[in-house]
Structure 1
Amino acid sequence: MWNKRGQNFLFLTEILISFLVVFAVFSYITYYYQNYSKPLGFDYNRVWAIAYSGEQLSKNPDTLTTFYANLEKSLKSMPEIKEVSFASPNYPYSSSFMSTGLSQGGKKFNNISDFHVGTDYQKVWNVNLIDGRWFVPEDLIGKDKGIIINETFSKEMFGTVKSTGKVIGDFDDKNKFKIIGVVNDFKANGDFVPGNNVMFSQLDTAYLKWTSTVLIKVSEKADATFESKLYKFMANTTRSAVEIQHVDEMRESRNRETIIPMLLFIIVASFLIINVALGLFGVLWYNINKRKGEIGLRRAIGASGASVSSQMVLESLILATLSIIIGCFFAVQFPLLNVFNIPANVYFIAILISILFIYALVVACSLYPGKQAAAIRPAIALHED
């Protein structure tokens, strides 16, 4: 094998390229599968989002408070509606994103998803509290504004210590917030996207003038007729254009944005791997034809067909191992350098799967040429040589 290293260079190169491509594919799949396997943290079924423009509404805080209180009562009086909550426009699966920063013990935390929510937001989404409680109206008059955070964020700030009741600061540590509850992690951007650190704050009077979204949990009786009725009611009440969206449809649309590019990448990679497999098969076939004399001589001195076949497969596996070692050197750099800010275990799982895949590919491509080598008749091979 060493003496024929020049001939084996093409084989080594193809295996190396295949390993790197397979590593990229399995890293991609592993990352999204891990995200998909984690719970959403809420229930999106039968949740509708109603967007409207609040420009026509009064800017007086007291008038707005009365208006939204009456609107909430009117919506809850409809038998098809089970729960109602006003909220900021960055609800799950929407195209809106709001972020903020917090500080704790001198450490800064950035890019925290900031949700301004009504008192019944938890009921609309069936958000699961794992510690503390949800908002009550009395929280708006407390000294430190109450907030609710997700479980992962709580562990980042306080480790295993309970965060409920702790007081933290905003990014500049000028204003204080009191953590009153902790919820399960909240994946608001799709099933395949990891959830951000999350902070819920209660919708107060000052924020009402910016409010333009109402979320409702509807019953199974809610149909197209009710949706049309609801649309007319909201348009007349808010005196603005109204858009009603079904959150389950928004979820499907958001997931397609991830699935379609992933499928295209996998298809392209699959064609490349097929071409490489055909190339490996051709290289092995060519090497066997070049070594007919050697194989014939081995058969003539008593080597069995099985030993000749296993030699062909073993040589392929040894060459593949050399390429895999080189490929692993490059692949290991991804978790070491924290490339793309992806958890290191994703890359290590992808490396392991890629190694097994390459070995399986090499064995599959070398079995038939090895079988053909075992079938060579000694007399014919030596005569041709």
Structure 2
Amino acid sequence: MFKHLFKLIWNKKKQNFLLMSEMLFSFLVLFAVFTLLVYYYDNYKKPMGFEYQNVWVISYNNAYQTKSTDSLNTYYEILRQNIKAMPEVRELSFCSFNTPFTNNMSQGRISYHKKPLDHVNFYTADESFPATMNMQILEGRWFNKTDVATKNKPIVINSDIKEQLFGKGAAVGQLISNYDEKEKMRVIGVVQSIKMKGDYAATGYGLYQKTDTGSLRWMGKIMVQVVPGASAAFEGHLYKTLANYMKNSNVEIEHLTNKRTSINYFTLVPMIVLSIVGGFLAINVALGLFGVLWYNINQRRGEIGLRRAVGASGGAVSSQLIYESMILATLSLIVGSFFAVQFPLLNVFDLSAGIYISAMLLAITFIYALVFLCSLYPGRQAAAIYPAVALHEE
């Protein structure tokens, strides 16, 4: 039976080649769409790693400038006490500009035993950062006042770096080199990786450094954890307090909940665009396949009538058309799968092989389901042809 079907397909190879090309191109686009969807869903399942609901971000610039280290420390300590004294404030932390849900980044390279690790995000934060963000410390500890004068610079890494460099082994106490391998940094703790770029983005590699007097000169962010239900009146009072204290600074207060919503919309734009393109292609494949099958039925009425006259049932005729369509889809998917499988083999875009394999299986299933559904109605129309009528027309 299949030998006969292949012969029928080969006899109309020019017409079938165009349909197969359309299926192939649609499969590749759907593969890209499903890859993005699976990637986003895989990231979405992972925990956020911190609590953002009641955290505000204070941005300031042109802050207090002085050459005196003591004056600088005193200036920011008074500012901390003024904010902390407000009953609506639970905790606060001075940190670098690459705060959660922003596009600001500070990336570099580290190495462990000459094993490099690229695209590491460097964060600078003070002792109260984990309490402000409700971060989970998995191993070791966070920074404290004893880390001011140490031989090797103390750092805290996230669980992604720990897994990449140390696997299941202990990370605390290990020495990591900076980008030029001239400075050694000692790991004192491991924290849960947090999704700094929103729900659908990967956590990435994160390395935390302790604030010092030098960093206070350029940092311009304060993370403030407030009580639930903090009012707009309190926000206005907080703004006036900051503006009066930092008279030459431009102060801005933002809520992490709003910033999370904005960055999630920004992340979903490529997926929406690809989904629209994939949807149009799927519609084109469906219409093309439906039209080709309908045309084939009208052109092959004599053949179908002869098959019915020699004893073929309506179900057999319908199945033949469906099988032909599924064989065409299979040939297209074999070629498409060859190209798709190169992505996990070559580690394109540095995604896990499981994401590509899941996307490929979803795209294959979608194409098969689309072809099957589009073949049902024309197949039923072919099965309804009466032998006498078809042969009489011939």
TM-score range, shorter chain: over 0.9
Q: Does 1:249 align with 2:258?
A: yes
Instruction: Please name the residue that 1:267 is paired with.
Output: 276
User: Could you tell me whether the CA contact under 8 Å between 1:191 and 1:255 is conserved in 2?
Assistant: yes
Q: Is residue 2:366 matched to residue 1:357?
A: yes
For the Cα contact (< 8 Å) 1:149–1:200, is it kept in 2?
A: yes
Q: Which residue of 2 aligns with 1:376?
A: 385
**1:147-192 per-position Cα deviation (integer Å, ceiling 9, x unaligned):** 1001121121122211011122222222221111101112211221
1:287 & 1:31 partners in 2: Cα distance? 40
Partner of 1:134: 142
Cα offset, 1:336, TM superposition: 2.0
Q: Does residue 1:212 correspond to 2:191, yes or no?
A: no
Which residue of the partner structure matches residue 37 of structure 1? 45
Superposed CA deviations along residues 101-127 of structure 1, whole A, max 9, x for unmatched, are 222111222221111101110011111
> What whole-Å deviation, never above 9, does each CA across 1:243-288 have from its counterpart, x for those lacking one?
1111111111111111133212212221221122011000011111
The residue type paired with residue 107 of structure 1 is: K
Letter in 2 for 1:60: S
The residue aligned with 2:329 is 320
Asked if structure 2 preserves the Cα contact closer than 8 Å seen for 1:53 and 1:238, the reply is no
1:336 pairs with 2:350:
no
Task: Provide TM-score, normalisation by structure 1.
Answer: 0.96
> 1:36, 1:192 within 8 Å by CA — same for their partners in 2?
yes
TM-score, normalised with respect to structure 2? 0.94
5+ residue gaps, structure 1: none
The offset of 1:51, in angstroms, is 1.0
Say which SS state the counterpart of residue 141 (structure 1) adopts.
coil
Does structure 1 residue 83 correspond to structure 2 residue 91?
yes
Q: Distance in 2 between matches of 1:108 and 1:4?
A: 56
Shift of 1:340: 2.4
1:46 is displaced (CA, Å) by 1.0
Aligned residues: 385
SS in 1 for 2:337: helix
Say whether the 8 Å CA contact 1:59–1:209 is kept in structure 2: no
Unaligned residue ranges in structure 2 (runs of 5+) = 1-7
* Equivalent residue, structure 2, for 1:125: 133
CA RMSD of superposed structures (Å): 1.4
Residues of 1 paired with 2:252 and 2:32: CA distance?
41
Which whole-Å CA distance do the structure 1 matches of 2:46 and 2:224 have between them? 25
What's the secondary structure of 1:63's corresponding residue? helix
**Distance across 2 between alignment mates of 1:143 and 1:266:** 53
Cα shift at 1:54: 4.0
For residues 26 and 104 of structure 2, the distance between their equivalents in structure 1, rounded to whole angstroms, comes to 40
Q: 1:292 aligns with which of 301, 320, 332?
A: 301
Q: Deviations over 1:326-373 (max 9, x none)?
A: 111111122222222222222111111111111111110000000000
The structural deviation recorded for 1:136 is 0.9
Would you say the 8 A contact 2:193–2:203 is kept in 1?
Answer: yes
Answering whether residue 232 of structure 2 is matched by residue 224 of structure 1, we say: yes
1:10 alignment partner AA? L
- Determine the C-alpha separation between the residues in 2 that align with 1:218 and 1:200: 23
Show the counterpart of 2:185.
177
Greater displacement, 53-62 / 341-350? 53-62
Deviation at 1:88, TM superposition (A): 0.8
Structure 1 CA distance for aligned equivalents of residues 114 and 297 of structure 2: 68
Conserved? CA contact 1:80–1:221, under 8 Å: no
Partner of residue 276 from structure 1, selected from 277, 280, 285: 285
Partner of 1:180: helix, strand, or coil? strand
Q: Percent identity over the alignment?
A: 48
What is the identity, as a one-letter code, of the residue corresponding to 1:318? I
